[in-house]
């Protein structure tokens, strides 16, 4: 059988030949690529020359290129276009990949060579980038068990393989639970309060499922408007309970034991490597490099946001009472009364804004913003193979015509796609034998679909989400590094969100909105008073929003600062961890941890605080743009040169200082959020 994953790709720009790839190709391709990579590692370890950067660190960096190319496709598809058979393949090959990874980090001969290079860093005359790569490789080997005693190595291998499998299963269960729920409405009176766009979307969903009436799902374009506008409190409660109990029911998709296993196994691995907690182990190369620094940061934000959060909550409670609400404010009341109060205070809501944010115009506007700031251009290319007909592909060029990247964009929800939005890559930028390899970058989202009568009209949150993921994409597309594992978004977890959150700021700026936001029917430019209201409303409930994010960060840190295995009830653990920022009465049967994909399925374990940390940086960075002009070419050039192009080739703090010229201050964040 000819396996396209193992052939040279003759596609445009060497892009993945999705049109040729079938599920059955993955496992044999992974197995063969592992054999090839094993030989490449063997060549390094058996090299008779004394270890140096080129024959050890650089050689290791380029080993396994074929395997990385194959697995990037497999796991990206498993997130964006999965199926039962693809999930089974991912489960099958995951232990093979973990075993191979362990074979590398537990290879004594290889580790000795890396340690020799690491020990001679001061005298080897390395560049900053080479030095950082050497330090990172050494740290990865230490965390990969390289220094463990023989009797501990087999246990380390077993834990690593089990964790890889458990994380995949965790995500599969959340997706299955998300897809399995539907709120089927057959009485039009039950649609009270819902905007026409939401009703039309639900009608289309019912038609797609060959049912009469309207169907609402737990995918965000359906779920969020329902929670904001439905006058049926009982149905809002039903939706919220379904969403917040995903993977927490007594069925095959329950993640309770998986969550406990992951947390406890992470603790065990940390202990084997000499750390008190998993957080202590994982934070060593972050800007906030100890749990104590994270705790101090979160405590500072907690003190700053608590009065505003309590104020926001009381404002909503008082407003709800005036609207005739009796009793306590429950979780399923928050979005509904928040939207009503926001409308009353600012005369603005998503239904007013959506007509100005058609997806087609937003796409052009964001591309135009990148062109203004960085001089780059976007050319649609329909000849590049895609994994789903909905995916759009673009060639990206610099101001001088130099090719930069291919960009894939996948906008809308499907049953085979995980929820949320993310940026990823099919190929990272690097130099290979003196020739630069440019990246293949992808944005995946779950934005509102077009209907039979209207284009895709984005909510304001969807607009900022697009800007956010596009910021990540710029980080990946503009990078200019030598080594793949330091290029693009391969940076410290609490620094990686700076470029993405920085881009969100433009959504509130009149100077940008004026250039493109027009009504999709009338062509009328977005009125100045609406832009003013967007800015005024930007701090609405921001105290509560900060409090909520802090709650997630505290829950993450609680799971990853345990010093003994957790055997208590998972809800009790979560309640205790989140108590500090909890404002609502508890609802039995809900649990956040079991669907907290960022930390149990993704790479944000002991790192969710990074969103707020990077928010401090992005607020400070954007304040510099507002001082110099939000389109100032010199400021933008500095941000590109010192942040977007550098990847992880220098320490994040040093890169930020080169851009900003001074230490970042929390003041800009507190002012922007209305907390100061």
Give the catalytic positions in this structure: 469
Q: Which residues pair with 441 in a beta bridge?
A: 407, 425
Enter the tokens of residue 184.
């089927």
Distance (Å, rounded) from C-alpha 366 to C-alpha 143? 40
Distance (Å, rounded) from C-alpha 440 to C-alpha 427? 5
Torsions phi, psi for 170 (to 5 deg): -55, -50
Beta-strand ranges (E) seen in 512-610 are none
Q: Give me the half-sphere count of Cα atoms (radius 13 Å) on the Cβ side of residue 412.
A: 15
> Do 184 and 198 form a contact (C-beta atoms < 8 A)?
no
Q: Environment class of residue 316 by beta-carbon count within 10 Å: exposed (0-12), middle (13-18) or buried (19+)?
A: buried
Distance (Å, rounded) from C-alpha 377 to C-alpha 360? 16
Task: Reduce the DSSP state of residue 587 to 3 states and report it.
Answer: coil
Distance (Å, rounded) from C-alpha 133 to C-alpha 215? 51
Distance (Å, rounded) from C-alpha 423 to C-alpha 418? 13
Enter the tokens of residue 146.
């390289």
CA angle 620, 442, 361 (to 5 degrees): 75
For 627-639, the DSSP string reads: HH-TT-HHHHHHH
Distance (Å, rounded) from C-alpha 615 to C-alpha 619? 6
> Do 423 and 489 form a contact (C-beta atoms < 8 A)?
yes
Distance (Å, rounded) from C-alpha 63 to C-alpha 385? 27
Distance (Å, rounded) from C-alpha 200 to C-alpha 191? 11
């Amino acid at each position: 059988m000819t396996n396209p994953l193992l052939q040279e790709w003759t596609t445009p720009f060497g892009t993945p030949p999705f049109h040729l790839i079938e599920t059955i190709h993955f496992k044999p391709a992974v197995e063969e690529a592992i054999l090839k990579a094993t030989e490449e590692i063997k060549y390094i370890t058996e090299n008779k020359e004394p270890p140096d950067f080129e024959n050890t660190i650089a050689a290791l960096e380029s080993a396994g290129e074929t395997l990385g190319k194959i697995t990037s496709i497999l796991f990206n598809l498993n997130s964006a276009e999965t199926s039962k058979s693809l999930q089974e393949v991912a489960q099958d090959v995951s232990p093979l990949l973990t075993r191979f990874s362990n074979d590398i980090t537990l290879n004594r001969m290889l580790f000795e060579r890396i340690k020799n290079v690491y020990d001679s860093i001061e005298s080897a005359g390395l560049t900053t980038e080479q030095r950082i790569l050497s330090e990172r490789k050494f740290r990865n080997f230490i965390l990969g068990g390289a220094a463990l005693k023989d009797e501990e190595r087999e246990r380390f291998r077993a834990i690593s393989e089990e964790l890889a499998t458990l994380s995949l299963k965790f995500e599969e269960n959340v997706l299955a639970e998300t897809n399995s729920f539907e709120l089927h409405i057959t009485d039009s009176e039950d649609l009270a309060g819902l905007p026409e766009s939401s009703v039309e979307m639900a009608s289309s969903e019912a038609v797609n499922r060959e049912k009469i009436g309207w169907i609402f799902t737990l995918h965000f374009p359906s779920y969020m408007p329902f929670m904001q506008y439905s006058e049926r409190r009982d149905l809002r409660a039903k939706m919220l309970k379904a969403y917040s109990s995903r993977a927490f029911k007594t069925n095959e998709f329950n993640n309770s034991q998986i969550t406990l296993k992951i947390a406890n196994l992470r603790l065990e691995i940390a202990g084997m490597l000499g750390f008190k907690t998993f957080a202590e182990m994982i934070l060593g190369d972050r800007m906030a490099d100890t749990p104590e620094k994270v705790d101090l940061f979160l405590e500072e934000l907690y003190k700053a946001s608590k009065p505003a959060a309590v104020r926001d909550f009381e404002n909503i409670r008082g407003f709800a009472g005036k609207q005739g609400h009796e009793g306590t404010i429950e979780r399923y009341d928050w979005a509904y009364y928040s939207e009503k109060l926001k409308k009353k205070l600012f005369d603005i809501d998503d239904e007013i804004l959506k007509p100005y944010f058609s997806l087609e115009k937003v796409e052009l506007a964001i591309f135009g913003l990148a062109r203004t700031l960085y001089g780059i251009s976007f050319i649609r290319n329909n000849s590049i193979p895609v994994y789903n007909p909905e995916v759009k592909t673009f060639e990206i060029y610099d101001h001088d015509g130099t090719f930069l990247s291919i960009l894939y964009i996948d906008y809308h929800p499907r049953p085979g796609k995980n929820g949320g939005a993310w940026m990823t890559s099919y190929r990272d930028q690097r130099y290979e034998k003196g020739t630069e390899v440019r990246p293949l970058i992808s944005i995946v989202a779950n934005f509102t679909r077009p209907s039979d009568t209207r284009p895709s009209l984005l909510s304001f949150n969807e607009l900022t989400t697009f800007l956010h993921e596009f910021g990540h994409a710029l980080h990946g597309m503009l990078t200019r590094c030598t080594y793949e594992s330091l290029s693009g978004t391969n940076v410290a977890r609490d620094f990686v969100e700076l470029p993405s959150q920085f881009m969100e700021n433009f959504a509130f700026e009149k100077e940008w909105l004026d250039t493109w936001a027009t009504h999709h029917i009338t062509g009328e430019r977005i009125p100045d008073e609406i832009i003013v209201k967007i800015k005024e409303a930007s701090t609405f409930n921001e105290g509560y929003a900060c409090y909520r994010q802090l709650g997630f960060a505290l829950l993450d840190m609680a799971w990853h600062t345990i010093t003994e295995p957790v055997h208590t009830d998972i809800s009790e653990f979560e309640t205790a961890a989140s108590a500090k920022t909890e404002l609502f009465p508890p609802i039995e049967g809900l649990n956040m941890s079991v669907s907290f994909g960022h930390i149990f399925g993704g790479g944000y374990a002991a790192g969710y605080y990074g969103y707020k940390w990077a928010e401090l940086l992005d607020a400070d960075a954007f304040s510099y743009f507002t001082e110099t002009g939000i389109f100032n070419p010199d400021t933008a050039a500095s941000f590109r040169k010192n942040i977007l192009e550098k990847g992880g080739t220098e320490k994040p703090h040093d890169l930020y200082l080169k851009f900003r010229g001074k230490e970042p201050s929390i003041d800009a964040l507190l002012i922007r959020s209305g907390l100061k």
